[in-house]
Structure 1
Amino acid sequence: MNFSSKSGLEPGGKTRIQRQKRSEIFEAALDVFSEAGLRGATLDQIATRAGLSKPNVVYYFDSKEAIYRDLLEALLDIWIDPLRQISPEGEPVAEILAYVHRKLAMSKDMPRESRLFATEMIQNAPRISEVLQGDLKALVDEKAALIEGWIADGRVAPLDARHLIFSIWATTQHYADFDVQVRGVLGPAHEASRFDEAHAFLTTLYTRMLTP
């Protein structure tokens, strides 16, 4: 995950060294939180993983909750962005398939972030419920209306647009959130190819589902 100033995690006025230290703390915290969750994580663990002293971490963040909150805020924007990219100007089935592929790529490239987000959902999203019911809901409503328009025009097969989006989340994020299970069931022979296989399978699945 890129913890540059563009991520929203770096307030103005920070020196290069301060930005670097904050970035190291975020990277370490992402590892720890994705493994242990907020409840199981400690500042000591984060400091050790970052190669810093605990007082050094506390200099930048007064609590593990503060680090966790900033991570979630950055993650939410990154997680939502692929849905924003569905364009009304594109070919409908291709646009939805491209969304599926973007989400699967995120599971491959950002498994820690996916597991952190999943852990927050399992805990009833106490820190981001307002965003889920606000910005995310508004975006899903917008894209569902777009898909419903395509359905009405006969360009996408009839289906429930919101449940389509839910199914895309489920079938793509599964490969990150349940990675151990996927690798265990597929076995060593599929270790290097599992995402390519998932890409091919999901392309076939959604193409058949979406094509009028």
Structure 2
Amino acid sequence: MQFEVNAHSADKPAGRIRQQNEKLIISAAEQEFSCHGFKGTSMQRVADRAGLPKANIHYYFSNKLGLYYAVLANIIDLWDSTFNELSAEDDPAIVLPRYIAAKIEFSRQYPLASRIFAMEILSGGPHLSKFFKQDYRSWFKQRAAVFEHWIAAGKMKAVDPAHLIFLLWGSTQHYADFAVQIEAALGEESLGQEVYDTATRTLTDIILRGCGIAVD
């Protein structure tokens, strides 16, 4: 589902420079929001980190809330774009490993955005109220219905679709949200590609076997 962003007027021409600047600003905002939270972050701090005049930040994002929405929308759209690809006609033995791998990769590439989303949820989701009201329950039921169809078709064992989805979300996002804990446990200064690859293989094996899906 789509998370609408109040970034700025939509009638400005989109070009390569605009896209580069927006990417730079959002990256700087992710670092600021992850370190200082929504209240502790200012547009000036984002501008300083991005190396741009504050006026440039306001050109692309009218206010701090719009910029915060853009950061949240970036990760939500990535997560949802992958999840929306699941369909009743698919073979879960093929698409679930693909989905798990994609979510782990998002955790590797966008850990700050994932942590900001987690912090927002932990604080009660005050800035996500519109997102959760935008037919969110209907969207979730449609995703769960895909798993119900697979169960009815005998493609997987009868597990609760909602809690399976929660497991998929939580287990894959864990590698972004709790990276510091994982690094400490493994004695690593930072998580390397091998850790993410091992996580992908392990989660895929456990989840597919738990769903009664044959694993090669």
Q: Tell me whether the two structures share a fold, i.e. TM-score over 0.5.
A: yes
Q: Structure 1 residue 208: deviation in Å?
A: 0.9
CA RMSD, Structure 1 to Structure 2 (Å): 2.5
Contact 1:80–1:136 (CA under 8 A) maintained in structure 2? no
- Where does the alignment leave 5 or more consecutive residues of structure 2 unmatched? none
Contact 1:9/1:74, CA 8 A, preserved across alignment = no
| Alpha-carbon distance change, 198 to 22 in structure 1, aligned in 2, over 3 angstroms | closer
Note if contact 1:92-1:155 (Cα within 8 Å) is conserved in structure 2: yes
1:106 is aligned to 106
| 2:88–2:149 Cα contact (<8 Å) kept | no
**Which TM-score applies when normalising by structure 2?**
0.83
Q: TM-score, normalised by structure 1?
A: 0.84
Deviation at residue 201 of structure 1 after TM alignment:
0.9
Alignment of 1:162-181 (within 5 A): 162-181=162-181
> What corresponds to 1:131 in structure 2?
131
Letter in 2 for 1:211: G
1:196 deviates by 1.3
Alpha-carbon spacing, 1:37–1:148, altered in 2? closer, same or farther (3 Å): same
Query: For 1:18-66, what per-residue CA distance to the aligned partner results, in whole angstroms no more than 9, with x for missing partners?
Result: 5544443222112211222212212222111111233443444443222
Q: Point out the more displaced range, 22-31 or 111-120.
A: 22-31
Residues 18/94 of structure 1: CA separation in 2 closer, same or farther (3 Å cut): closer
For residues 148-167 of structure 1, the aligned pairs below 5 Å read: 148-167=148-167
Q: State the match for 1:40 in structure 2.
A: 40
Residue by residue over 1:108-131, the C-alpha shift from the partner in whole angstroms, topping out at 9 and shown as x without a partner, is 111122112112111222222232
Q: d(CA) in 2 for partners of 1:107 and 1:15?
A: 28
Query: What letter is aligned with 2:76?
Result: L
Return the alpha-carbon distance in structure 1 between the equivalents of residues 167 and 152 of structure 2.
21
Task: Output aligned runs, 1:1-212, within 5 Å.
Answer: 11-14=10-13, 16=15, 17-188=17-188, 191-192=191-192, 193-211=194-212
**Secondary structure class of the residue paired with 1:188:** coil
